[in-house]
Structure 1
């Protein structure tokens, strides 16, 4: 997550906490079928768990809280399903840009088969390391926490930091970039895309981008209005909105081949939308999937 210089030293961003709370709350307040079973998110909330989960328990049907859960679990499920498909073909590297309090490496059996690189702001990484130590949760030997300031890092320095942590840019990887681009300016987004384009052919990128208000539905606009204000209040304003044509042009300009654009409804199996709870897909963001072509 991006802190824009206002994140407290040694603390995670507020948006990282809210995303983890949404994933944890999905298992506590929503009905079956489960979209994403994040069994570690609760522990990562530490002493803020009661407060953050209390909102979901008491007001779980509220459109903003239900929307937060919908967004967090659908994008996570789509990306982890892509990783499973790629791992079955031999891909064994997973780069999580803006990892925040992501828990994949600490809960998924698939993590035993891939090398995981969690990339985020130094202060968030510092807090997460301390949290994992305080809860006696070991960082697996196959997982590296890589501190990076996305606003300052060049494409080359981002790659060099990953390589320094054990990443092999000559072998394909899956790169996930969820809940990140809205907090960055276009130059920083371009540098990330350029770095990924320099990885091995066959590498895939899943990057989430927020739609401009005119392309959101009523639920998406209401959610954006509420969450955007809260994020700005905590020093993490939403800065970038892209329609599909703009994202397509951005990916192509930086050497990536667009593959598909997936909205919330399409991100998971249709059977998962046969629900009796408050989770409903809405038009807010798109998951763009792109690949590194053969040179």
Structure 2
């Protein structure tokens, strides 16, 4: 694989943030992803070196903080749920399925939703890295701005009759509000007991100084890369969408509260900022 043109820049940088955490940050670790570096392949040194050289910069430290916290929060809730179908929307280079052990107490079928080109890139990356997963993910190609999420999942073998856990991390800000509402409506038809976790970018008035500085520094760059942020929300805006679509319980979790408080006793540059928040909804 000599090109990264088929995979989004955000997929690469998110994987680099997870990989770099193990190399540049101090104990206690927030999240351990032992396969992210391998999936980056020939891009690994280049992308991780930014963190090695400039890891204390607010943008890089902020990116690691957001990616690590949302991953720990989501996988913690997934483990507690005991649900056997897990859907990762906008999966990118997520490694959960590759890290999942065959003898786990709660074996799961993992469906990954992403653009076809991204999934093909990931297939080659897994093969090139020599990773032999105990349980490979099932790929469900879709463009959520236009395609039905559930149609794509059913075509991949998803069982609509079974309660499921669904994550949308690093997704909502790249969708229009109408597309996110359509996705929420589809997820609202899942069986009772299903759970959804998503992260969303706060409207500017709800950001703190660090969050606003990050948005100003990064927003223009992601737009130039062809992945502009399209949507920002206040918590009540998303609550009205989700509750109206069949979810009975909705809670919003700021990043500073998304992990055990002891993990914020740090000697590195990782610190929570109010740029984004997490939503956890149950059917």
Interval containing the TM-score (normalised by the shorter chain): over 0.9
Aligned to 2:251: 260
Q: Separation in 2 of the partners of 1:10 and 1:221?
A: 29
TM-score scaled by structure 2? 0.94
Contact 1:248–1:258 (8 Å) recurs in 2: no
Give 1:55's match in structure 2, choosing from 27, 50, 67. Answer: 50
Choose the corresponding residue for 1:177, options 168, 184, 200: 168
* DSSP 3-state at the match of 2:213: helix
Aligned to 1:43: 38
List aligned pairs for 1:241-252, cutoff 5 A: 241-252=232-243
Aligned counterpart, 1:97: 89
| 1:131 CA drift (Å) | 1.3
1:97 shift after superposition: 0.4
- Equivalent of residue 24 in structure 1, options 19, 25, 31: 19
1:139-187: CA deviation from partner (whole Å, max 9, x where unpaired): 5545201111111113xxx212212222211111110001001001011
**Does the residue aligned with 1:45 lie in a helix, a strand or coil?**
helix
1:220 aligns with 211
The structure 1 segments of at least 4 consecutive aligned residues displaced by more than 4 Å after TM superposition are: 139-142
TM-score in terms of structure 1 length: 0.91
Partner residue, 2:122: 128
**Across the two proteins, how many residue pairs are aligned to each other?**
279
**Alignment counterpart, residue 152 of structure 1, candidates 143, 146, 151:** 146
CA distance in 2, matches of 1:250, 1:208: 14
Q: Once superposed, what is the RMSD of the aligned Cα atoms?
A: 1.6
CA distance, structure 1, for counterparts of residue 152 and residue 92 of structure 2: 17
Structure 2: segments with no counterpart, 5+ residues: none
Deviation larger for 158-167 or 30-39: 158-167
* CA distance, structure 1, for counterparts of residue 181 and residue 235 of structure 2: 16
Q: For residue 121 of structure 1, report the CA deviation from its aligned partner.
A: 1.1
Whole-angstrom distance in 1 between the partners of 2:154 and 2:5 = 25
Matched position secondary structure for 1:206: strand
Aligned residue for 2:230? 239
Deviation at 1:259, TM superposition (A): 2.5
Instruction: Please say if residues 181 and 208 of structure 1, whose CA atoms lie closer than 8 Å, have aligned partners that are also in contact.
Output: yes
**8 Å CA contact retained: 1:114, 1:142:** no
Separation (CA, whole Å) in 1 of partners of 2:31 and 2:95: 12
Q: For 1:141 and 1:273, how far apart are their aligned partners in 2?
A: 33
CA positional deviation for 1:132: 1.3
1:215-270 CA-partner distances (Å, limit 9, x unpaired): 10000001111121111011000000000010111112222234311011110011
Q: Is the 8 A contact 2:40 2:125 kept in 1?
A: no
> What is the rounded CA distance, in whole Å, between the counterparts of 1:61 and 1:135 in structure 2?
29
The 1:46–1:9 alpha-carbon spacing in structure 2 relative to 1, beyond 3 Å, is closer
Q: Is contact 1:210-1:242 (8 Å) kept?
A: yes
CA distance in 2, matches of 1:238, 1:191: 18
